[in-house]
Amino acid sequence: MTFESLKPQVESIILNAEKAVNERLLAICTLLETHVNYYNWIGFYFRNGQKEELLLGPYVGEPTDHTVIPFGKGICGQVAVSNKNFVVPDVAAQDNYIACSITVKAEIVVPIFVNGKNIGQIDIDSNTPDPFTEADERFLEFVCTAVSTLL
């Protein structure tokens, strides 16, 4: 399934007001995990109030111990500080990487902005080396913009 064909499904999930926000976020994670074969762990992290840390939100994939991530630590923590997408083709080459699983080979993190403020991010791990392209970035930016309307 192509990213373009997933966009209306993401929009449909966002617009389903009968479900709680976290249910919709989990549905997006499930949609992506089901239809993008190299997306092996998909989750949302959100800023913890005024604290400089991220809290794990809805996700699909292997359980993780990384439920709280300080700003600046790991890929997610770096995105919380930089406010920029971070694509990691090879996690083994990253000094500031928090390993969740030995099977993870690559990671992409895209921030979510509400009123110009970085309030969270989508984090995707892949067990495939160097799978992420510019198309992934643009699609995940679309997802994050859609998610921002819920928050």
Statement: residue 32 has pLDDT above 70: yes
Res. 94 pLDDT band, cuts 50 70 90: confident
Res. 95 pLDDT band, cuts 50 70 90: confident
**Half-sphere exposure of residue 22: CA atoms within 13 angstroms, side-chain side:** 6
Res. 10 pLDDT band, cuts 50 70 90: very high
SS3 111: strand
Class of the CATH-defined domain 3-148: alpha beta
Q: Tell me, what's the pLDDT at 81?
A: 97
In sequence order, the β-bridge partners of residue 47 are 54
Sorted by sequence, the CB contacts under 8 Å of residue 98 that are 6+ apart come out as 66, 69, 73, 74, 75, 76, 77
Instruction: Tell me the C-alpha distance between 147 and 77, whole Å.
Output: 20
Q: What is the pLDDT of residues 100-127, one digit of tens each?
A: 778 999 999 999 999 999 999 999 999 9
Instruction: Tell me the C-alpha distance between 48 and 70, whole Å.
Output: 10
Res. 97 pLDDT band, cuts 50 70 90: confident
Domain ranges, ordered by start, for the chain: 3-148
The answer to whether 69 and 54 are in contact (CB under 8 A) is yes
Q: What is the pLDDT of residues 78-89, one digit of tens each?
A: 999 999 999 999
Instruction: Tell me the C-alpha distance between 141 and 42, whole Å.
Output: 14
The answer to whether 150 and 14 are in contact (CB under 8 A) is yes
Q: Tell me, what's the pLDDT at 1?
A: 66
In sequence order, the β-bridge partners of residue 125 are 41, 107
